[in-house]
Structure 1
């Protein structure tokens, strides 16, 4: 059965992809042989395994365009912002893969694994600059005030995104963190960009301030839920589903929600965790202990709670149209990624 958001994605995707390709075909890049090829590989357009699976779902720009249309705006005018958030997201992925030593993404070798760390850092920097090039095209479709507000929001998001990643890396040196620190971390590294997508969509679509606030709050709850489900997948998901390395988050020492919850339980898992680094052969045993201690179920309850919160913010917009129906179904689909 086709999802209600699928027709919207099918309508948006070709124009989004065309604009992304146009941005990364900027004439200056042609002066530096090989650099554009790295960017195009990461975006899933070139190289072995290229195609839609390698490109990903483009979820963040699709969300932005859905919200623009939901508030009655012209989604075509929001395409520069949609391209910008996708390029910013991919900048973060290139750098995250280096920082996490991840050899695979979307079923293919990561940029650093193919070209080395130095070139991957440089490619990420180029992707970051390309995001701002894309955003600058909003000057052609928005009023000066709306453009400057969009730019300020985007810049702040860059700081929140990198701040959350800073905490994620810093917390790898700590055996334990508080729940407060966990939520602060994921609010930056994951929720900030998703929140901004919903906020930008409402802003560009011309929604009033109260509706913009509701959509921004929706995006924040959705982003938190997205990370909680990712945390679930990082311990109990399959590599075939995630397209990433089979190494569990338990081995890498990530302070994910199941780990924070497990430490609070103070059971067998907590005792072993406090003894030192988890070895690969132990991961499946500890994952099972977390199930037995109720942590898997509690993680699912948190994802469910955040999904309900996101849906409540959608209701507060007091909008009712076919795009809002699609947004509700999209919200539910993110929770079902763990099934």
Structure 2
């Protein structure tokens, strides 16, 4: 661990716990084991469970991980959050038609769509099962379980709303941007709200504070999603090739800005590309779109939006009047730096 990147120590701690708990799931479920074991072959960054632990310590005034003082209940809560995250990934891969994730075939591709649905559903309920088993007062356990369910519904709503944009495409960019932010604050910000709010619940913070943390998570989730959209076009996302989001017809902020600001003929060409079947999208057309989006200034616009969202997260944090506000602001900076690392080459 270094003082520059303390989140890494939490990620390393969670990685060990993740291996333990996922093995317990595999040992207890011979029916789902083939699909779950395949999905568990590749572990992600574990950013969300690490954030759960780090924010909990932050509320206590700690600025670094102390494994000896990290309770089993807190660790289980963090793992439950990551199980939920993985549930959304399995279903997301199926809906988007992605054939690889983190360099390995996705569950639906390795098995079939039906087993991907089963696997994602199983992961959600394993998350709830683990959460309900923690050694905490009943009121705390119920609140954590309710939070997980409520935010899962928000994720589903965001995912569903994303698929309706082309049916009611806004004429004004401001309206399109507002629609995009509403979608990502549901489907992406929820997975930042759960870690922050769960830690606060376990610290028995006031309900006003717990709810206020959703306001901190909202810009963090939007920032993460915009970064992820940029990475798909201008970085390495482990999905086989650049521009998968364009082939999927995904209405990213990059795309929405381009469609409202580019030359009419270019905008028409991109919209046609976005709305045609994925299997009909030629890589040369996707490559054209990647270059055109950059040349039209849409990439620069989104990079600037990242800075604005970072500042907004800080502003929301200040409104909560935490005793440990300095620690929390430092944690937010470390988290944003971690999120933006994959596109650092674009930030200068």
- Tell me if TM exceeds 0.5: yes
Q: Is the 8 A contact 1:71 1:206 kept in 2?
A: no
Q: Is the 8 A contact 2:220 2:309 kept in 1?
A: yes
Match of 1:190 among 167, 188, 191: 188
Equivalence map 1:157-172=2 (5 Å): 157-171=151-165
Tell which deviates more after alignment, 14-23 or 125-134: 14-23
Q: Quick one: distance in 2 between partners of 1:105 and 1:274? A: 26
Q: Quick one: distance in 2 between partners of 1:311 and 1:38? A: 40
Residue 9 of structure 2 is aligned to residue 7 of structure 1: yes
* Aligned-residue offset at 1:8: 2.9
Gaps of 5+ in 2: 62-68
TM-score by length of 1: 0.85
Q: Is the 8 A contact 1:311 1:331 kept in 2?
A: no
* Aligned-residue offset at 1:288: 1.7
Q: Is the 8 A contact 1:269 1:290 kept in 2?
A: no
Q: Quick one: distance in 1 between partners of 2:70 and 2:210? A: 16
Hey, what does 2:225 align to over in structure 1? 227
Residue 300 of structure 2 is aligned to residue 297 of structure 1: yes
Hey, what does 1:147 align to over in structure 2? 141
Corresponding residue pairs, total = 320
Q: Secondary structure at the match of 2:188?
A: helix
Equivalence map 1:132-281=2 (5 Å): 132-138=128-134, 140=135, 142-171=136-165, 178-237=176-235, 241-248=236-243, 249-267=245-263, 268-275=265-272, 277=276, 279-281=282-284
Q: Quick one: distance in 1 between partners of 2:15 and 2:141? A: 23
* Aligned-residue offset at 1:275: 4.3
Runs of at least 4 residues off by over 4 Å: 172-177, 320-324
Q: Quick one: distance in 2 between partners of 1:110 and 1:58? A: 18
Hey, what does 2:66 align to over in structure 1? none
* Aligned-residue offset at 1:94: 0.9
Q: Secondary structure at the match of 1:246?
A: coil
Equivalence map 1:40-189=2 (5 Å): 40-44=37-41, 54-72=42-60, 75-76=70-71, 77-138=73-134, 140=135, 142-171=136-165, 178-189=176-187
Residue-by-residue CA offset, 1:277-307 (whole Å, 9 max, x unaligned): 4643112222222222211000011111111
Q: Structure 1 residues 184, 320: closer, same or farther in 2, change over 3 A? A: closer
Q: Is the 8 A contact 1:63 1:197 kept in 2?
A: yes
Q: Quick one: distance in 2 between partners of 1:153 and 1:322? A: 25
Q: Is the 8 A contact 2:11 2:45 kept in 1?
A: no
Q: Quick one: distance in 1 between partners of 2:208 and 2:189? A: 20
Q: Is the 8 A contact 1:191 1:220 kept in 2?
A: yes
Q: Structure 1 residues 8, 124: closer, same or farther in 2, change over 3 A? A: closer
Q: Structure 1 residues 274, 215: closer, same or farther in 2, change over 3 A? A: closer
Hey, what does 2:65 align to over in structure 1? none
Residue-by-residue CA offset, 1:91-120 (whole Å, 9 max, x unaligned): 111111111110100011111111111222
Query: Cα RMSD between the aligned structures?
Result: 2.4
Hey, what does 2:330 align to over in structure 1? 325
Q: Secondary structure at the match of 1:218?
A: helix
Gaps of 5+ in 1: 45-53
TM-score by length of 2: 0.83
Q: Is the 8 A contact 1:307 1:332 kept in 2?
A: no
